[in-house]
Amino acid sequence: MRTTTINETAAILGCDPKTLRRWIKAAGMTATRGESDAREWHLTQAQVDRLARLHARGGGASTVGRLEELEREIRELKAHIASIKRQNAREGHLEVQETALPDPVVSPYHFDPPRQPDSAPTRGYALTYGTDAPAVFSHRADAGRWLARHGVNELTPKTWPGWRAVELTPRAVLALALSLMDTSNHRVTWRLRRCDDDACVCRELL
């Protein structure tokens, strides 16, 4: 014999479970405990049909069909949700395969210092030329930008000892850089190089 729980019956009749319990008590009905779960109370189909007629809820055999329809809709929804989960899992797996890269293997005995960019600086520098004196940079920032053409970041000279006191001529500035370049020290990441100007003093010092 088919039975329905209090919550299922309330859903069929379109009322609150508390309201349904009042209807059951008013009709003098007795619900039975469930076989699998004694905490659930069940009503027979005849009781459901009677409550439906008493409260104009469209009872009769239609309650059985409605319950079966609800169960079918629940099964379809569960199948649809499972299909979406499987699709998302496949898409997520493909995305991980496309983006995941193996971790590089780095030897603990190898150190490769970062290289300075090879491109020339985008900003220029100013030199003041005299008749009997060598050309002089207008500012130390100009000297830094000039050194960038020779492999030194224009901001690096600010950290050099003697930078504030060095004469602002290309020869003096390059000589200071040459004295501070230490190829054996891995902390010194810059290396001097010649620029493209054939008349530059770097052709003589480097």
- CATH number for position 26: 1.10.1660.10
Tell me the helix, strand and coil percentages in the chain, rounded to 5. 45, 5, 50
Range of the domain at 201: 127-205
pLDDT tens track of the chain, all 206 residues?
A: 678 899 988 888 889 999 999 999 999 998 888 777 778 888 988 888 888 888 876 554 455 566 677 787 888 899 889 888 888 887 766 555 555 556 655 555 545 555 555 444 446 788 777 667 788 888 899 999 999 998 999 898 999 999 999 999 999 999 999 888 887 877 777 889 999 888 888 999 88
Position 19 in a domain: yes
Looking at the structure of the chain, the number of domains it has is 2
Helices within the chain (DSSP H only)? 6-13, 17-26, 45-54, 62-99, 140-148, 170-180, 202-205
- Distance CA(95)–CA(172), nearest Å, equals 57
Domain boundary among 27, 50, 70: 70
